[in-house]
Amino acid sequence: MNALRSPKPDSVREKFAQARRELSAALIERDEEVDLVLTALLANEHVLLVGPPGCGKSLLLDAVMNWMSVRKFSILLTKFTTVEEVMGPVSLAALKADRYRRVTTGRLPEAEVCFTDEIWKASSAILNTLLKVLNERVFENDGEAVKVPLRLAVAASNEWPSPDSGKELAAIMDRFLFRKAVRPIGSQAGRQRLLWHRDHTPKLSATITPPEVDRAHAEVAALPWSNAAKDALETILRELAREGVVPGDRRQFKTVTAVRAFAYLCGADGVRPEHLEVAQHCLWDSPEEQPQKVAQVIAKVANPTGMRVTQLLLEVESVLAATDVRNLADAARAAAKLGEIDKQLSTLAGNGRLEKARAYLKDQLRKLKLASIEAV
């Protein structure tokens, strides 16, 4: 069965598919990050991106924020940021009446989507309040637990919290179901695009409203898991335990919805093993060696299209980097290898990213042939 189903043009799923296409087209080598942020929104969960300065984190997260026509809150945290700036100032009128109530207008407690940049720089006081907002979606105001409307929290940082940074940061880390390391652009073609395109800001042709997000949540919840996918998840968890990676029960449980949300984003009718790809960003606790172990186990058990595509594209890059196009024998060898990789790609089930990878490969083959003809 093909993984791609054509959603009705006016359906909310098509809106997600369109945003996915437009974001991936504008941002260079950020397909996985785009998928992750959209999946988080669909799963009603939060996402953390960690990567070096200037690798497109804010560009992506700002674009997704703009796409959502909801109340937003965005802040660059420093060690000097005060709780007032995040949660709102204390009401003077209330103080006069011996109450300690924050005026939350325009601040995090009233936001439906929030972006916290440099999250680990925040003070303990901010992190503690954030914890409750992210996890229980509740904010304590003047002794009263107020429900917050938060749908999606996105966060970015240049580094993971150090292992000895204490329980507070570990607790916040755990509130992000999706966490991913973002790497700089790797391909030659990507670097050229980065250098010579004037503007990389994604321009999305539509926006999404809260009722539409609610509808998408309901559609995600209705997506069934196939038995093969259930077996694959159980096998993955068993194999991970053998490797010493045991994500907490809450994390394991939430992964079920995460994978459903990703299957929905891929346009599938139900969850199949290949959709477990997204679980590589959920099923670990410590960012040092575990993410790689989890990725290996998932790749082995579920053989997801996206992970195979990433791996084969890396092979394409190493073939191109090692080829001297002016040397005809070298170019012919490279063309044969690229042809072989395309054959492998053609056996995979489509997931949106596959089609783009094949188009890229074809383009590289064409350029390779042209360059070697010119050399002659």
Ligand X SMILES: Nc1ncnc2c1ncn2[C@@H]1O[C@H](COP(=O)(O)OP(=O)(O)OP(=O)(O)O)[C@@H](O)[C@H]1O
CB of 26 or CB of 232, closer to Mg ion: 26
Query: Restricting to residues 96-155, which ones interact with ligand X according to CB under 6 A?
Result: none
71: exposed, middle or buried (C-beta count within 10 Å: 0-12, 13-18, 19+)?
middle
CA–CA dist 40, 47 (Å, integer) = 6
Interaction partner, residue 185 (ligand X, Mg ion, none; CB < 5-8 Å by kind): ligand X
In the chain, what is the greatest distance between 2 CA atoms, to the nearest angstrom?
87
- Beta carbon of residue 287, minimum distance to ligand X (angstroms, whole number): 17
Tell me the window of 56-64, 212-220, 222-230, 361-369 that interacts with ligand X (CB under 6 A): 56-64
- Beta carbon of residue 340, minimum distance to Mg ion (angstroms, whole number): 39
CB of 3 or CB of 152, closer to ligand X: 152
Tell me the window of 11-19, 26-34, 81-89, 282-290 that interacts with ligand X (CB under 6 A): 26-34
75 contact partners, CB below 8 Å, separation of at least 6: 81, 85, 86, 108, 114, 115, 116, 117
> 287 in helix, strand or coil?
coil
Interaction partner, residue 56 (Mg ion, ligand X, none; CB < 5-8 Å by kind): ligand X
Tell me the window of 57-65, 191-199, 294-302, 351-359 that interacts with Mg ion (CB under 5 A): 57-65
Tell me if 201 sits within 8 A of 246, measured CB to CB: no
CB of 79 or CB of 367, closer to Mg ion: 79
Interaction partner, residue 87 (ligand X, Mg ion, none; CB < 5-8 Å by kind): none
Tell me if 204 sits within 8 A of 66, measured CB to CB: yes
H helical segments located in the chain: 12-26, 31-43, 57-67, 83-87, 92-96, 124-135, 167-175, 188-196, 210-221, 227-242, 249-265, 290-302, 305-321, 328-346, 353-375
Among 12, 17, 27, 299, binds ligand X (CB under 6 A): 27
Strand partners, 50: 157, 181
Residue given tokens 């056996």 in the structure block: 347
Tell me the window of 50-58, 214-222, 250-258, 310-318 that interacts with ligand X (CB under 6 A): 50-58
Which of these, 42, 95, 89, lies nearest to 275 by C-alpha position? Answer: 42
Interaction partner, residue 54 (Mg ion, ligand X, none; CB < 5-8 Å by kind): ligand X
> 166 in helix, strand or coil?
coil
Q: How many residues form the binding site for Mg ion (CB under 5 A)? A: 1
CB of 49 or CB of 236, closer to ligand X: 49
- Beta carbon of residue 202, minimum distance to ligand X (angstroms, whole number): 9
The reply to whether 58 sits near ligand X by the rule CB under 6 A is: yes
The reply to whether 63 sits near ligand X by the rule CB under 6 A is: no
The reply to whether 44 sits near Mg ion by the rule CB under 5 A is: no
CB of 31 or CB of 110, closer to ligand X: 31
The reply to whether 158 sits near ligand X by the rule CB under 6 A is: yes
Binding string, residues 183-222; x marks residues near ligand X by CB under 6 A: --x--------x-----x----------------------
Both tokens assigned to 227? 């038995």
CA–CA dist 79, 126 (Å, integer) = 10
Among 24, 39, 44, 58, binds Mg ion (CB under 5 A): 58
CA–CA dist 372, 376 (Å, integer) = 6
Among 13, 15, 20, 30, binds ligand X (CB under 6 A): 30
Report long-range pairs for 85-88 (Cβ below 8 Å, ≥24 apart). 86/122, 86/126, 86/129, 86/130, 87/129, 87/139
Tell me the window of 27-35, 167-175, 259-267, 282-290 that interacts with ligand X (CB under 6 A): 27-35
Tell me if 16 sits within 8 A of 38, measured CB to CB: yes
- Beta carbon of residue 28, minimum distance to ligand X (angstroms, whole number): 4
First-residue to last-residue Cα distance in the chain = 45
The reply to whether 116 sits near Mg ion by the rule CB under 5 A is: no
Among 17, 23, 29, 220, binds ligand X (CB under 6 A): 29
Give the residues lining the site for ligand X (CB under 6 A).
27-30, 51, 53-59, 156, 158, 185, 194, 200
Give the residues lining the site for Mg ion (CB under 5 A).
58
